[in-house]
């Protein structure tokens, strides 16, 4: 069923990632989606690979 992709900067510990996954799962559960079909993929993107307005976040 749903696959949720979260792109975020590196630096969160495993407990924070657990909280993020649980929170996202709960939102979909409230919409009637069974917990066991909800997939959350977390990508850690370095600030050197992420920009807004033409400026790297690492700058």
What tens digit of pLDDT does each residue of 1-57 get? 899 999 999 999 999 999 999 999 999 999 999 999 999 999 999 999 999 999 999
Instruction: Give the count of domains, the chain.
Output: 1
End-to-end CA distance of the chain: 38
Q: What is the pLDDT at residue 41?
A: 98
Quick check: pTM over 0.75? Answer: yes
Q: Would you state the pLDDT for residue 15?
A: 98
Q: Kindly report the three-state secondary structure assignment for every residue of 22-46.
A: HHHHHHHHHCCCCHHHCEEEEEECC
CATH number at residue 14: 3.30.429.10
Nearest alpha carbon to residue 40 among 14, 15, 5, 1: 5
Structural domain harbouring 23: 3-56
């Amino acid at each position: 069923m749903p696959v949720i992709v979260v792109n975020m900067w590196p630096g969160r510990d495993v407990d924070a990632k657990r909280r993020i996954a649980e929170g996202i799962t709960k939102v979909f559960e409230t919409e009637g989606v069974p917990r066991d079909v909800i997939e959350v993929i977390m990508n850690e993107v370095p600030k050197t690979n992420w920009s807004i307005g033409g400026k790297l976040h690492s700058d």
